[in-house]
Amino acid sequence: MDNQKSIQEQMQELNSQLEHHNRAYHELDAPEISDAEYDALLRRLKDLEEAYPHLADPDSASQRVGGQALPQFAQVEHPVALLSLDNAFSPAEVLAFIKRVEKNGTLQPAFVVEQKMDGLSVALTYRRGRLENAATRGDGLTGENITANIRTLACLPHQLPDALPLLVLRGEVYMSKEAFRRLNQEREEAGESLFANPRNAAAGSLRQLDPTVTAQRKLDIFIYEVLLAEDRTFTRHSEILQYLAEQGLPVNPEYFCSGDPEQILAYIALWEEKRQHLPYETDGMVLKLENISSRAGLGATSKFPRWAIAYKFPAEEGRTRLLDIQVGVGRTGALTPLALLEPVRLAGSLISRATLHNEDMIRDKDIRIGDQVIIHKAGDVIPEIVRPLIDLRTGEEQVFQMPKDCPECGSRTRREEGQAAWYCTNENCPARLMEQIAHFVSKKAMNIEGLGPAIVKMLLDAGLLYDLADIYALQHEDLAALPGLGEKSATNLLSAIEASKSLSPARLLFGLGIRHVGERAAKTLVGHFGNIDLLGVVSPEELTAIPEIGDKIAQSIVEYFTNEENIQRLNRLQNYGLTLQEELRAPSQEGQLQGKTFVITGTLPGISREEAKKMIEVAGGKVSGSVSKNTDYLLAGEKAGSKLEKAAALGIEVIDWPGLESVLAGANEE
């Protein structure tokens, strides 16, 4: 094991490096390292602190992350300090906390025990029931104004039924395990760096200067505190949670109220066991004194209240040896390193593989083959290597190199500038084709059941598949002749292939596996152009003019359609009877303002024109500068001028902000 001195030294070293870069970034506006490099340092520090919490500096740089607002976000002073929570690391410490509360004058205190969400704390201000402002916790006194980003959260109402003059709430923004998995999958396919865990992904998604990016990331929130409520008093914490839920706010239903310490400990133990089945990550449980009026008597330190405590779950970390690093080839040709580990039991399962993401991560963490490594597994998230134990090196360890030749087909590999991944340069790499077909037949694409990897491999070996379009040329006798398939399975497979022909062109476009074109982009593109063929003739500018379609997608589409093989494939697919053209240009399900053009004029109540524009674009609408016959709506605030007259002359519908907002909120609730 590492000796404690060297761990502490490492922590101090990381802390001073982080402090230095923090200043360079925030105060001097002259960053010396990239955000990713900064995050890597910070992650290393946090991993150490998680593994050795007793050695962590209470004033560590990790406590201040995001503590100071990024210069680009406006700073917001919180009306009430957003305190942190004191920690308990054992049931005995929880009991000691309960005793302390009792000793301070609350007889047989009852507590609400909540999930401790592993996300980001935010404060939300509702004025007369309307969401007015949202801010990150920051240093507890001042945070960053993230109102535009918070407004993109689908689960959060913008208007509450109970229009209290002022209601300030606190909650946790998080990303579900499923949304995290998908986001990383998309990023991996796009050759982008991956987020290490759902918390980092949530943080990265929330602190985006462009709220349209936030809107594409599936973020959620749970509200757990009322910081201020004008004209409304609460006597119990469970009453608060109930009130919030009645207001349509997302409240985590997994909580429990009891005055019996044994029951409280049993509830904590229950979730310590069950938490991996929750759809989101938690890192502990929070005990809060149920009786609100008793809280004042207990008071708070400068950092945390004395009426609440966080019980932190032990970190799910273990130690094992990295036996080897295997490199696979994905459907875009990206090389994916995979850690092969000496099997070790962790978080209820036997772990023998872990993700290594990409070359940079292996280098940044200085992971070498043969190293003793600390691995981390949280719930059903794929295990990852936290760090190697450098002190335990024998000198036999080997530095990993990404192969210069594809491990599957031997072609050269290449890493493009600005990309995290290496790629096999052979478009027809069999491994790539295997993965392409697996993607093409998957549920969300062409949904062809029965064409699993074993069968695809046999078809490739038999020379029956050279391209994914060959799927539609397969004959009954080809399939029935495959070992272990038989007549019945062959018939079923052929009918699944046949049925796929009538699926939507958006599924087909997604199934083609064009780099960066995920499910959502495919829907947007087909919704916009109505025909996959048209993508071959549009310019990158026309593509990027569509909300949600960025440079990378545009460039990738243009590249795809300049490749003759891809055009041939589409022609073949069309000849086999697949539909490239959308039959009915029904309004897209994606955004309720899809296809609508807005012009904004005048001063809108409580929202800037820029924010309103973003919200319209997020919902699929367009915003143009001047009123014309192509305008669908004029969004008019106070002191609207000549545009109002022009709209009236052209017979264009005029709406106000509350009107539009209720359209947006209404559709969100569906």
Beta bridge partners of 337: 327
| Residue-by-residue DSSP string for 378-440 | -TTSPPEEEEE-GGG--S--EE----SB-TTT--BEEE-TT-SSEEES-TT-HHHHHHHHHHH
Nearer to ligand IVH, 85 or 459 (CB): 85
* Least spacing, CB of residue 131 vs ligand IVH, in Å: 20
The candidate with the shortest Cα–Cα distance to 335, out of 187, 188, 453, is 188
Residues forming the active site = 116
Say how many C-beta atoms besides its own lie within 10 A of residue 399's C-beta: 10
Residue list 548-607, contact with ligand IVH (CB under 6 A): none
- Residue 85 sits in the site that holds ligand IVH (CB under 6 A): yes
Output the smallest distance, CB 80 to ligand IVH, in A. 10
Does 121 sit near ligand IVH (CB under 6 A)?
A: yes
Nearest to ligand IVH of 241, 455 (CB atom): 241
* Binding of ligand IVH by 238 (CB under 6 A): no
Of 267-326, binders to ligand IVH (CB under 6 A) are: 286, 305, 308, 310
| CA nearest neighbour of 507 among 523, 493, 496 | 523
- Which CB sits closer to ligand IVH, 278 or 558? 278
Residues 143-182 as x/- pattern, contact with ligand IVH by CB under 6 A? -----------------------------x----------
Cα Rg of the chain, angstroms: 28
* Stretch touching ligand IVH by CB under 6 A, among 28-36, 113-121, 561-569, 598-606: 113-121
What's the closest the beta carbon of residue 235 comes to ligand IVH, in angstroms? 18
Q: Which amino acid is at 352?
A: S
Residue with Cβ nearer ligand IVH (83 or 634): 83
Strands (E), 78-218: 87-88, 111-117, 120-127, 130-136, 142-144, 166-175
Q: How many residues bind ligand IVH (CB under 6 A)?
A: 14
Q: Give the separation between CA 220 and CA 1, rounded to whole angstroms.
A: 39
Rule CB under 6 A: is residue 184 a binding residue for ligand IVH? no
Q: Which stretch in 78-86, 429-437, 564-572, 609-617 sits in contact with ligand IVH by CB under 6 A?
A: 78-86
The interface region with ligand IVH, picked from 1-9, 116-124, 326-334, 595-603 by CB under 6 A, is: 116-124
Residues 475 and 464: their CA atoms lie apart, in Å, by: 10
Look up residue 46 and give its two tokens: 């946090």
| Residue 291 DSSP label | B
Residue 188 interacting with ligand IVH (CB under 6 A): no
Determine if residue 192 is left, alpha or beta; phi over 0 gives left, psi from -120 to 50 gives alpha, anything else beta. beta
Among 411, 443, 416, smallest CA distance to 427 is for 411
Q: Is residue 257 close enough to count as binding ligand IVH by CB under 6 A? A: no
Strands 111-117 and 282-289: antiparallel
Q: Which of residues 215-234 bind ligand IVH (CB under 6 A)?
A: 224-225
Contact status: 114 vs ligand IVH (CB under 6 A): yes
Is residue 116 close enough to count as binding ligand IVH by CB under 6 A? Answer: yes
Confirm or reject binding of residue 194 to ligand IVH (CB under 6 A): no
| Residue nearest ligand IVH by beta-carbon distance | 121
d(CA 432, CA 450): 19
Please report, as ranges, the residues that interact with ligand IVH according to CB under 6 A.
Answer: 83-85, 114, 116-117, 121, 172, 224-225, 286, 305, 308, 310
